[in-house]
Structure 1
């Protein structure tokens, strides 16, 4: 099959970083693109493109139709964010970067942040979720499981289970910085096929849940699994 996506070369790293940082292609801005293309089942690129602009709506409280002009406006915003914020920050960082910084970073990432992340996971699961949902048994995923890299804990309800992934973020970070990759979406679907339950991504700040609205979604999933 002939692919159509453009290769942005060395620009890709900066474009991807800024796009994710400000969440410019989140479903709230461009719609549920993967769900749309699966619904469309296009045989050609032109068929998919026409379908998208006919059926795409932002996933928001008040959905709006997505147009070519909407995508152009998002591209304009991406350019301004890169020019006004990202590039100056990168140039300043590069000018002050030392070899010692790189050595320290590798050590910190491998040893220190792994330990901190481990403590955060324990705190989120056992100090918050286990107390919020006392009838659920939480267990670490088996490292041998196909999903272990994408699912940190199982929430067991009888023979069924839902999954939890814990993502530590800084206190002033935007949740738009994080998006589920196509690979992870596939892994989450495979998990649901195996265990019956969905996978929930929890963002933590200072060992507490930041996206607390997800607790209602987890409760709904618990109720659904109990009814099976």
Structure 2
């Protein structure tokens, strides 16, 4: 059977792609509250051509969030302008300073720290959130590390097993005292993984923020409690 070739419509930016992607992600210029939930929108549209998708997008797309507004070509151009300003006024000067001070020892230390220190810190953080936090709040729930064979294991750290065939998921994210976790939204890829998990285990996935090995978003405990009751009633 002949392989079907899919025509690519994405532009190629060459070596500039890394800096464009870095700045866009850092300053959250492609989030749903800026450009809409694009994957959900295109699935709703089900276009046969890129022209059909483009027209439908500008006719129907709005930003996500409380102060949502209709997306236009001008609003996308404004995001591009903001991206350019961030790169030229912030990113490039910061990188130039970093490049000028970078040493070989920094590279040695970074790889070692990433592999040993951060991994161990993450391990302790996860264990503390589960063993000292959630396991004590919900003693009847069995918490297990997400098995590697799960397609969504990279996005879900632990399973909270309610019954033999029902479970909810836990993702543990570290924050600093200066972070605002209230603004965090899972990426569309991550949300798709959460949806796949729910189809398989019937439970939702909860993001637990860890600050100094303690649960920072305390309200998630009550949300998990309600989810356990829902799963038990299924």
Q: Report if TM-score (shorter chain) is over 0.5.
A: yes
* TM-score normalised by length of structure 1: 0.86
Q: Does 1:39 align with 2:44?
A: yes
Which of 111-120 and 215-224 deviates more? Answer: 215-224
Q: Is the 8 A contact 1:22 1:174 kept in 2?
A: no
Cα separation, partners in 2 of 1:53 and 1:214, compared to 1, 3 Å = farther
Is the CA contact 1:136–1:156 (under 8 Å) kept in the aligned structure 2? yes
1:79-122, CA deviations, whole angstroms, 9 ceiling, x for partnerless residues?
11111211111010010000111011111111111000001111
Instruction: Pick one of 63, 87, 90 that aligns with 1:82.
Output: 87
Which protein shows a greater Rg? 2
Q: Which residue of 2 aligns with 1:225?
A: 231
Cα distance change, pair 22–188 in 1 and its aligned pair in 2 (3 A): same
Counterpart in the other structure of 1:180: 187
Cα distance between partner residues in 1 of 2:57 and 2:123: 42
Structure 2 runs not aligned, ≥5 long:
1-5
101-110 vs 142-151, greater mean Cα deviation: 142-151
CA distance in 1, matches of 2:72, 2:171: 34
User: 1:81-100 alignment to 2 at 5 Å?
Assistant: 81-100=86-105
- Match of residue 3 from structure 2: none
Q: In structure 2, how many angstroms separate the alpha carbons of the residues matched to 1:225 and 1:37?
A: 32
Instruction: Report Cα offsets for 1:160-199 as digits up to 9, x if no partner.
Output: 11111222244435657885363x4443333222211233
Q: Give the match's secondary structure for 2:15.
A: helix
Partner of 1:196: 202
Q: CA deviation at 1:44?
A: 0.6
Compare relative contact order (CA 8 Å, sep 6+) and give the higher one, 1 or 2.
Answer: 1
- In the alignment, the residues of structure 2 paired with residue 74 and residue 64 of structure 1 have an alpha-carbon distance, to the nearest angstrom, of 14
**RMSD of the TM alignment (CA)?**
2.5
* 1:206 counterpart residue number: 212
TM-score (norm 2): 0.84
Query: Any unmatched runs of 5+ in structure 1?
Result: none
Alignment partner for residue 171 of structure 2, among 165, 168, 176? 165
- Give the total of aligned pairs: 227
